[in-house]
């Protein structure tokens, strides 16, 4: 379970536990014909399926590679080498607050002495002759709106988080540090696939007609599919086994009971062609901001492009829509005043994800004028076309409470959001269909879409704990 504690303010989550929560593995003899096959070559212009066999649920990955074999026995059979994968725990090794800049420290020291809501703040700067002087900086309207919003929710964040953090410290999930220690930098390979570029390349492939756009189910070992298959249809792993695929020379782990579409916003028709509607849709849009522009980390979308997402076609009646929003008030207003109304979605709640260290501190000072230790989620319901929202009396879902907190230690990978499956399950019907848009990883029981949908499934983000026959 990813929910460590649930109190009236919200939930304390263990993101790493959610990824690694299953712990099954299977050893069995493989068929003689598989052993005689030569390892499949990896062509840069094709996608191959590696032979995989395992037991597992959720996201502890137990996979076997067709290129890894033990010697033949006397009967002509051989046993494959099974490996159990777990997500790298060091990617959640957040032991102390993120380092703040000198400007942040100055602002923290002066915040208590100055009224930040009067539109003027004092900053300390050094001249070339090392003489300190004060200069006034006038806040723009966006900054004033952000401070007003923070003022409204500050007590909610502080009090609610404190309760959950104290419970985590009592249970031993969070550990107070006797001394601060620097986290070692994490070295990960840099030669992973640029999935978004692959999506651009896919547009040059010949288009398939609608009859050919059926869902691709990964059922057999040693099956191979082309890149065109991957980019033109939803791929499903409906088995109880983890699948290991190789794409452009890079390996990705697909947990059981997952499905995905690797494409950008211009190629969503395979998702629509499935003729499936969803009971919950989680959206993490690539919002435009200065940091994204400078780093060129990912392609952002304009508000108009986000509004054009085919939510009305994907959403089932009474569908729960959950949208991640940055702390930029312009984006928050857009979701509330334009985006949801355009999709016929009524806002029902506003939640916050609070990011803490493993010792229970905020990753950024709560009152930092630059970065806040929380992000916003806006929850809404698709407006019913009839008065009878739920015709089946046996299907009961709870009303969604407002102002809940999701508190967790964040992954150090950029934009690796905490799992929402367990905190949302009470608010959707049992066995409901779940969809995540702009996803960067896969979740069992969910369909995931995005131009980087396999990014955090790369095998290098995992460790092979053990192996054996």
DSSP secondary structure string, 8-45? TTEEEE-HHHHHT--------BPPHHHHHSPPPP--TT
- Residue 184 is predicted with a pLDDT of 62
* Sign of the dihedral through C-alpha 427, 281, 237, 411: negative
In the chain the first and final C-alpha atoms are separated, in Å, by 29
- CATH number for domain 1-98+145-389+396-469, candidates 3.40.50.300, 1.10.150.80, 3.90.70.10, 3.40.50.150: 3.40.50.150
Q: What's the pLDDT tens digit per position in 75-112?
A: 444 445 567 888 999 999 999 898 544 444 444 433 43
Q: 179-186: list long-range contacts, CB under 8 Å, 24+ apart.
A: 180/95, 180/96, 181/95, 181/96, 183/93, 183/94, 183/95, 183/96, 184/90, 186/88, 186/90, 186/91, 186/93, 186/412
Tokens standing for residue 153: 């929710």
pLDDT (0 to 100) of residue 436: 98
Q: How far apart are CA 208 and CA 196, in angstroms?
A: 21
pLDDT tens, 414-449? 889 999 999 999 999 888 999 999 999 999 999 999
pLDDT of residue 149: 94
The whole-chain average pLDDT of the chain stands at 76
Q: What is the pLDDT of residues 239-252, one digit of tens each?
A: 877 888 888 778 88
Q: What Cα–Cα distance (Å) separates residue 100 from each residue in 104, 107, 161, 369, 372? A: 6, 11, 21, 11, 12
Weakest mean pLDDT among 132-146, 274-288, 313-327: 132-146
Rounded to 5 degrees, what are φ and ψ at 162? -60, -40
Alpha carbon 324 to its chain centroid, in Å, reads: 10
Sheet strands (E) in 127-215: 132-138
Among 4-13, 165-174, 177-186, 413-422, the least confident range: 177-186
Residue 312, pLDDT score = 95
Q: What is the pLDDT of residue 315?
A: 96
pLDDT tens-place string over residues 253-262: 888 889 999 9
- Residue 468 phi/psi, 5-degree rounding, is 180, 170
For 196-240, what is each residue's pLDDT tens digit? 776 766 666 666 555 456 788 876 554 555 666 677 789 998 887
* Region of 21 on the Ramachandran plot (φ > 0 left; ψ -120 to 50 alpha; else beta): alpha
Q: Which residues contact 342 (CB under 8 A, 6 or more apart)?
A: 307
Q: What is the pLDDT of residue 176?
A: 86
Average pLDDT over residues 23-27: 33
Q: Identify the residue whose tokens are 């494409």.
A: 263
Per domain, the residue ranges of the chain are: 1-98+145-389+396-469
**Do 423 and 11 contact (CB within 8 A), yes or no?**
yes
């Amino acid at each position: 379970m990813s929910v460590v504690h649930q109190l009236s303010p919200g939930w304390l989550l263990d993101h790493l536990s959610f990824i690694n929560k299953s712990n099954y593995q299977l050893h069995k003899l493989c068929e003689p014909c598989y052993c005689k096959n030569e390892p499949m070559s990896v062509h840069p212009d094709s996608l191959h399926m590696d032979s995989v066999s395992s037991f597992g649920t959720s996201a502890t990955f137990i996979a076997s590679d067709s290129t890894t074999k033990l010697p033949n026995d006397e009967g002509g059979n051989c046993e494959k080498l099974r490996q159990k994968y777990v997500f790298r725990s060091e990617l959640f090794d957040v032991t102390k607050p993120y380092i703040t800049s000198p400007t942040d420290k100055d602002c923290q020291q002066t915040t208590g002495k100055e009224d930040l809501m009067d539109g003027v703040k004092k900053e300390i700067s050094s001249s070339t002759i090392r003489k300190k002087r004060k200069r006034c900086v006038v806040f723009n309207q966006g900054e004033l709106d952000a401070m007003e919003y923070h003022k409204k929710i500050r007590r909610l964040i502080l009090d609610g988080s404190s309760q959950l953090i104290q419970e985590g410290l009592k249970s031993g999930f969070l550990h107070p540090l006797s001394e601060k220690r620097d986290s070692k930098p994490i070295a990960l390979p840099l030669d992973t696939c640029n999935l978004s570029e692959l999506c651009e390349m896919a547009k040059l492939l010949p288009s398939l007609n609608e009859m050919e756009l059926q869902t691709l189910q990964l059922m057999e070992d040693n099956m191979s599919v082309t890149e065109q298959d991957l980019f033109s249809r939803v791929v499903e792993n409906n088995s109880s086994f983890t699948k290991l695929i190789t794409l452009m020379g890079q390996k990705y782990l697909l947990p059981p009971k997952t499905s995905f579409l690797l494409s950008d916003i211009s190629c969503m028709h395979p998702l629509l062609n499935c003729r499936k509607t969803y009971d919950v849709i989680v959206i993490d849009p690539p919002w435009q901001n200065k940091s994204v522009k400078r780093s060129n980390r990912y392609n952002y979308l304009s508000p108009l492009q986000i509004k054009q997402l085919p939510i009305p076609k994907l959403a089932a009646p009474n569908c729960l829509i959950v949208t991640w929003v940055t702390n930029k008030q312009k984006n928050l207003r857009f979701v509330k005043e334009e985006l949801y109304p355009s999709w016929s979605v009524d806002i029902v709640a506003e939640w916050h994800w609070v990011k803490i260290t493993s010792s229970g501190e905020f990753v950024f000072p709560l009152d930092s004028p630059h970065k806040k230790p929380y992000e916003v989620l806006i929850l809404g319901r698709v407006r019913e076309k009839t008065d009878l929202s739920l015709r089946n009396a046996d299907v009961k879902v709870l009303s969604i409470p407002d102002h809940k907190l999701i508190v967790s230690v964040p992954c150090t990978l950029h934009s690796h959001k905490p799992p929402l499956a367990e905190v949302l399950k009470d608010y959707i019907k049992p066995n409901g269909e779940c969809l995540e848009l702009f996803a960067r990883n896969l979740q069992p029981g969910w369909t995931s879409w995005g131009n980087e949908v396999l990014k955090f499934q790369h095998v290098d983000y995992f460790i092979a704990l053990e192996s054996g026959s």
